[in-house]
Amino acid sequence: MAQVISNASVSLDGYIAYDDNSIGDLFEWYDNGDVEVVNKGDLPAFHLTRVSADYWASWTQSLGALVVGRTLFDVTDGWRGEHPLGVPVVVLTHEPPTDWSYAGSENFYFVTEGIEAAVAKAADIAGEQTVAVAAGTITGQALAAGLLDAVNMDVVPLVLGSGKPFFGSTPLDTVRLGDPVTVVQGRRVTHLQFPVLRG
């Protein structure tokens, strides 16, 4: 069974974007090194430090599918049919788009039955590989439903003051996370992975 892991760049005060979905300097670490990382699709390459590039390669090579919400899908225009990570994308939405079509869009799956169904669809696609869950509302819903195995954070030394929280606005009871199993110090970013404790 695939592991289900949430991942995002996050400010020190817990935000993944401003209220208008802009990211400011949250992604500065994606271009502060010398190692070129090539995206799939039409987004340009970015440049990481060696330590962040090694971490990035380990993370992205484990992925088999990605779960996102409708807001991220709309903001990116569905990455024009190909996600930069080159994996199939499951979009949780109340209503699938009717006028969106790009080459590669057959690798996008629209699920309307809730977070459990979206994660199950992604797990079926991913097989033994990892299911990544985009941060924000989707992560909050997945955590509340007990679906997350771990939480990854690329913590950036930045205080946004307000914005979109890592876990969205889903009401959550206290969730205990274990000690980080991954701690990688990059340049202006710290890569962390916390296992979600059960019971």
Residue pLDDT, tens place only, 138-192: 999 999 999 999 999 999 999 999 999 999 988 888 899 999 999 999 999 999 9
Q: Give the CATH number of domain 4-27+63-195; options: 3.40.430.10, 1.10.274.10, 3.30.1360.120, 3.40.50.11540.
A: 3.40.430.10
150, 5 Cβ separation under 8 angstroms: yes
Q: Write out 48-81 in H/E/C secondary structure.
A: ECHHHHHHHHHHHHCEEEEEEEHHHHHHCHHHHH
70, 88 Cβ separation under 8 angstroms: no
Q: How far apart are CA 89 and CA 118, in angstroms?
A: 10
Domain range list for the chain: 4-27+63-195
pLDDT in tens, 59-87: 999 999 999 999 999 999 999 999 999 99
Answer whether residue 1 shows pLDDT above 80.
no
pLDDT of residue 17: 95
pLDDT of residue 41: 85
